Chains A and B, each alone.
Chain A
Amino acid sequence: MPREAPTTSPALRLVTERDELPSIEALVARDPDAVARLYDLQVERVERLVVAVMGPDRELDDIVQRVFLEVLSSLPSFRGSEEGMLVAFIDRITVNVARSWIRSRRRRAWLRFAAPAEIPDVPTSVGDPRARAALAVALRVLESLPADERIAFGLRRVEGRRLEEIASMVDASLATVKRRIERAEARFVAEARRHPLLWSWLEDHDPST
């Protein structure tokens, strides 16, 4: 939040705008202060977005670093003139990095004949033990969805983004985005029914009662 410094007169106001992003020129020049400032101002947003589309992930720090490095290396081609455009640009790159990460992880998993990425425990600060157990299953189910469907689902249902926004972020038409969300939900429901713990939690019926 911005804060006001003490004023020296009634006519003077000094406002600190913490959310003002550094200039594109400084970022392209890899000015250390500008890079640090970009990170400070956008890291929470990037982390939230990654977790929304991938779930809590042990590689989250690496993914977020990759996002920022991609942003910096793509900036020379950025043509926007406003801060909002830069934020949208970062969002798009975040989604692209998440998609590549999901796909490459699946390739690695297949090569190693191993299960898909392990999903860490749901943070203990979230919900009650039953909710956490159900969420862990839900995250495993979401993990099994095709990358594009999982991303569309996360952006819509977890991040609450508008369909138009999602379409722009994933570079697809509105109709495609709608289709992906519908398919993701259909697959999720079909799979969730096979897990009594999750399904009963979703239906709000405790099987123990």
Chain B
Amino acid sequence: MTHRRETFPGAERLARELSAVAEAESTSRRARREALRANLVARATAPPSPRRALPIALGLGALAAAALLALWVGRSERPLAASIDGEAIAEGTFVQAAAGERVARFSDGTRLTLAEGGAMRLDRFTAEGARVVLERGRVEASVVHREATRWTVEAGPYVVRVTGTRFAVWWSPVDEALEVALHEGAVEVTGPDIEGARRVSAGQRLELVVSRPAEAASLPLPASAGSDETLETAELGEPGATDEAPPEPRAARARPASREPRAAEARAEPDWRVLVESRRYREAVALVRERGLEPICASEPAQSLLRLADAARYARDASVGTTVLACVRARFPSSAASAEAAFFLGRIALEARDGRSAARWMEISLREREGGPFAEQAAGLLIEARELAGDSAGARSAADAYLDQYPHGIHVEVAERVARGAPD
């Protein structure tokens, strides 16, 4: 017999080999995937079987024809109508999402969801679309494609042109940073630093920061100007050169008189943001550790810090994750990012099986952003955290609250068990 600490002899070896079998099976199927995908798409999108479908199709066809006729007859150059919470809104309406998201619905079926903390103006309604001016924050747009569709989302100096797609635009006037993420279809973005128009397609995300040549040129250029770290930031145009940045890093952001050699130098150096975007989380966190967390915590915008915290969690580096999240809470109090940080601090505590701490953070997250994007998860994990902390009564109360608010939520099974007082 071996003396390995296993549940049975060779358990680890068996697991390793079975895992290799799973990997090999999956690899061997790569060549066939195209055919299998085509088969799946055909099956998934196939109409119902003809025998059953015919009468339904005839009925639906008649209905559709009537609806189309009605639409055609009623169609005019009349501009779109819009409503929020069932109330009609006029052109030029300023919408703020102070507490919870706001959803604007248009008569062509288009939907704009303004995330909490955001503000937008719904301007110039036409028969083909509308002009949306995103003052700040994030808007998720689901634009219905028609024969003639013209929607624009303006964010600072940038314009996003849309003909029918699903996408999100995030704009920070403080950082002068834009992010456009495409879920479906494609859009075109125009504005500073973009030659002509930049097409962004499904699955892509465009990040932009307004460059500030005047500001950069006015900064002194000491002999030691620009550490590698700050040069990378400047070259990448990350939202670091902002009003929030402390004086030292700002001074260090000076661009060299001749940019070419510096650019080459900067490209040669790794950047933790690029590593994070490339999902190389361990390397990103190792780099941050090597260069020190303090300057990053002091200068990076909240979203950037949250991404770094995510990377730390994925890299299973709870220490960096906790520090970065604490920075977010200290630097951006009362913000959505701060509440998000509380939620993830709770997740880290839960992973460390620290029920009390996890429960406290989940409570804070829920209190600070009721109905926010992590509210359901926080409410569900609060049950688990309190249970873990041995607080049965608290867990039951959290379970009752969860079931009231999210009767179809993902934590329903756990909530029902705890609410019933059933043992795990």
List residues of A (174-202) whose CB comes within 8 Å of B's CBs.
Answer: 174-175, 185, 188-189, 192, 201-202
The contact string, 1 if C-beta is below 8 Å from chain A, for chain B 1-31, is 1100001111101110111111111111100
B166 close to A23 (CB less than 8 A): yes
A65 close to B39 (CB less than 8 A): yes
In the complex, the chain B residue whose C-beta lies closest to that of A30 is B45
Report the minimum CB–CB distance from A102 to chain B (whole Å): 16
In the complex, the chain A residue whose C-beta lies closest to that of B234 is A10
Tell whether A32 is near chain B: CB-to-CB under 8 Å.
yes
Tell whether A17 is near chain B: CB-to-CB under 8 Å.
yes
Tell whether A109 is near chain B: CB-to-CB under 8 Å.
no
Q: Which residues of A contact B7 (CB under 8 A)?
A: 185
Q: Given that A48-B22, A77-B408, A79-B408 are known contacts, is A61 also in contact with B36, CB under 8 Å in the complex?
A: yes
Q: Given that A17-B204, A17-B205 are known contacts, is A39 also in contact with B40, CB under 8 Å in the complex?
A: yes
- Complex Cα spacing A25 to B206, Å: 23
Report the minimum CB–CB distance from A4 to chain B (whole Å): 7
Q: Which residues of B contact A31 (CB under 8 A)?
A: 184
Tell whether B43 is near chain A: CB-to-CB under 8 Å.
yes
A60 close to B205 (CB less than 8 A): no
Q: Which residues of A contact B8 (CB under 8 A)?
A: 185, 188-189, 192, 202
Tell whether A158 is near chain B: CB-to-CB under 8 Å.
yes
Choose one: A36, A43, A47, A65; the contact of B43 (CB below 8 Å): A65
Instruction: Categorize the interface residue count of chain B.
Output: 35 or more
Which of B130-138, B293-301, B393-401, B409-417 contacts the other chain? B409-417
Q: Which residues of A contact B183 (CB under 8 A)?
A: 20, 22-23, 26
B278 close to A68 (CB less than 8 A): no
Max count, chain B CB within 10 A of own CB: residue among A10, A81, A157:
A10
Report the minimum CB–CB distance from B314 to chain A (whole Å): 11
The contact string, 1 if C-beta is below 8 Å from chain B, for chain A 107-146, is 0000000000000001101110001000100110000000
- Complex Cα spacing A159 to B18, Å: 9
B413 close to A171 (CB less than 8 A): yes
Choose one: A8, A33, A37; the contact of B193 (CB below 8 Å): A8
Which of B69-77, B83-91, B208-216 contacts the other chain? B208-216
Q: Given that A15-B207, A61-B36, A157-B11 are known contacts, is A51 also in contact with B194, CB under 8 Å in the complex?
A: no
A204 close to B10 (CB less than 8 A): yes
A52 close to B22 (CB less than 8 A): yes
In the complex, the chain B residue whose C-beta lies closest to that of A176 is B424
B417 close to A173 (CB less than 8 A): yes
Choose one: B17, B43, B234, B237; the contact of A13 (CB below 8 Å): B237
List residues of B (365-424) whose CB comes within 8 Å of A's CBs.
Answer: 373, 376-377, 406, 408-410, 413, 417, 423-424
List residues of A (47-70) whose CB comes within 8 Å of B's CBs.
Answer: 47-48, 51-52, 55-56, 60-61, 64-65, 68-69
A69 close to B202 (CB less than 8 A): no
Report the minimum CB–CB distance from A163 to chain B (whole Å): 11
- Complex Cα spacing A144 to B99, Å: 56
In the complex, the chain B residue whose C-beta lies closest to that of A73 is B44
B29 close to A60 (CB less than 8 A): yes
Q: Given that A39-B40, A202-B8 are known contacts, is A173 also in contact with B26, CB under 8 Å in the complex?
A: no
Q: Which residues of A contact B269 (CB under 8 A)?
A: none
Report the minimum CB–CB distance from B227 to chain A (whole Å): 17
Q: Which residues of A contact B377 (CB under 8 A)?
A: 82
A202 close to B13 (CB less than 8 A): yes
11 A-B contacts (beta carbon < 8 Å)? A11-B209, A14-B204, A14-B206, A22-B183, A37-B203, A48-B25, A56-B22, A64-B36, A160-B15, A192-B8, A203-B10
Residues of B within 8 A of A (CB): 1-2, 7-11, 13-15, 17-29, 32-33, 36-37, 39-41, 43-45, 142, 166, 181, 183-184, 192-195, 198, 200, 202-211, 234-237, 263, 274, 277-279, 373, 376-377, 406, 408-410, 413, 417, 423-424
The list of the 9 closest CB pairs from A to B, nearest first, reads A202-B10, A11-B237, A9-B193, A123-B24, A51-B22, A11-B211, A157-B15, A47-B26, A158-B18
A-B contacts besides A126-B21, A127-B20, 16 pairs, CB < 8 Å: A8-B195, A14-B198, A14-B206, A33-B184, A35-B40, A48-B23, A82-B377, A135-B14, A157-B11, A158-B18, A158-B22, A159-B22, A160-B19, A202-B11, A203-B2, A204-B2
